Amino acid sequence: MGISEIIAKWYHEKKRDLPWRKAETPYHIWISEIILQQTRVVQGLEYYNRFIEKYPSVIELANAPLDDVLKLWQGLGYYTRARNLHLTAQKIAFELKGQFPRTYQELLKLKGIGPYTAAAIASIAFKEPVALVDGNVFRVLSRLFCIQMPVDTKAGKQIFEKLAADILDPVKPDIHNQALMELGALICLPKNPACSNCPLIRNCKAHAEKKIELFPVKSGKIKQRIRYYNYLFIRDRDYTYLHKRTGKDIWNSLYEFPLIESDVSMKFHKLSSSQEWFALFGDRKTQVDRYPKTYKHQLTHQILYCTFYYIEVGFTLDSSTDKGLIRIPFNHLSRYAVPRIIEKYIDNLHQEGMF
């Protein structure tokens, strides 16, 4: 038996029961693939269920306000995915009359759909014989054939794409592709792989040479950036203020409390004498009646030290629209999509009975 036959047989016996494997409409496949980009299945599962329930087809998604889509996405990370999902839904619903593009090349033109996702949708939903390459496939193939080329380089990706195409079963590309990924997810794990349960143990070069832990090869390390975020939870009776993030920084399109950022850790007296503080409050009286709470928030490329100040004011911030601030009652807070760290602070306030 060839590799493709072996993994197909294994897949039919051992595959997980996942919701997107039931209804194979391109819409369902698409939603699942976007959610699962750089995201573990267990983490994306409930998001997928909620998404399909609220937006059963591309029409409902296209007609939804972007802020609602982002709210549903809250906590999942990589929020560009949600914005592109919405954008592409509108393109399909309104420009393509609800017709999903049916080929790899056409899918690739859509926002948020790159080589992996185009191959996944084309092969799974339309049975087009294209091989997909994701993190699982990198790992399985690098071990199977002892590929020394780093997976995180241009040249490396090309090697793996060619290899994946070579072993593809063109008759059942959907089964083949999913079987290869499932093998990576369940057996050929990054650490402590379950080689004794692997159907390809006789085919695996790395296993034969006892070099499993040496693959896949990666070239680079990423460096971290440290930032200090001073968040101002402003309490004006039952109201507070939010700000919508824009630009190319993290959390684009999400909401947060008014923020004063600095490169170094900032003491309160420094903060309250800063220009940003003055721009918000002027010389008016503020009462900071809570010791600030500081959380460390770890992102892939950044470490954020977020300090939250609870500030009571006896006035309404004027020209707040000019500063990009929106004034909202407390009980509307849950309507806004916010970063996890903001959500955690709000939860904390609830637990302390602050509302």
Partner DNA sequence: AAAGCGGGGGC
Partner DNA sequence: GCCCCAGCTTT
Q: Which residues are catalytic?
A: 33
Among 26, 101, 184, 193, binds DNA (CB under 7 A): 184
Give the residue with the Cβ less far from DNA, 184 or 258: 184
Q: Please say which residue, 227 or 327, places its beta carbon nearer to DNA.
A: 227
Using CB under 7 A, which residues numbered 112 to 151 contact DNA? Answer: 112-118, 120, 134-136, 138-139
Three-state secondary-structure class, residue 136: helix
Closest to DNA by CB, 34 or 311: 34
Write out the H or E segment, with its range, that includes residue 4.
Answer: helix 3-14
Q: What would the 3-class secondary structure string for 187-218 be?
A: CCCCCCCCHHHCCCCCCCHHHHCCCHHHCCCC
- Rounded Cα distance, 297 and 316, in Å: 31
- Is 221 an interacting residue with respect to DNA (CB under 7 A)? yes
From residue 282 to residue 321, the character string flagging contacts with DNA as x (rule: CB under 7 A) and all else as - is ---------------xxxxxx-------------------
Contact 265, 284 (CB under 8 A): no
Tokens 């209804």 correspond to 23
Binding positions for DNA, 41-70, rule CB under 7 A = 41-43
Encoded tokens for 281: 């409050």
Least distance in Å: CB of 151 to DNA?
9
Per DSSP, the three-state class of 62 is: helix
- The rounded radius of gyration (Å) of the Cα atoms in the chain is 25
Binding mask of the shown chain, residues 97 to 116, with x at each position contacting DNA by CB under 7 A: --------------xxxxxx
Nearer to DNA, 210 or 221 (CB): 221
Name which of 1 and 303 has its Cβ closer to DNA: 303
3-state secondary structure 240-305: EEEEECCCCCCCCCCEECCEEEECCCCCHHHHHCCHHHHHHHCCCCEEECCCCEEEEEECCCEEEE
Instruction: Classify strands 293-298 and 286-288 as parallel, antiparallel or unpaired.
Output: unpaired
Q: How far is the CB of 292 from DNA (least distance, A)?
A: 20
Tell me if 19 contacts DNA by CB under 7 A: no
Q: Is 182 among the residues that bind DNA (CB under 7 A)?
A: yes
Among 13, 22, 40, 269, binds DNA (CB under 7 A): 40
Footprint of DNA (CB under 7 A): 18, 20-21, 32-33, 36-43, 75-80, 84, 111-118, 120, 134-136, 138-139, 153-155, 178, 181-182, 184-185, 190-192, 216, 218, 220-221, 223, 248-252, 297-302, 339-341
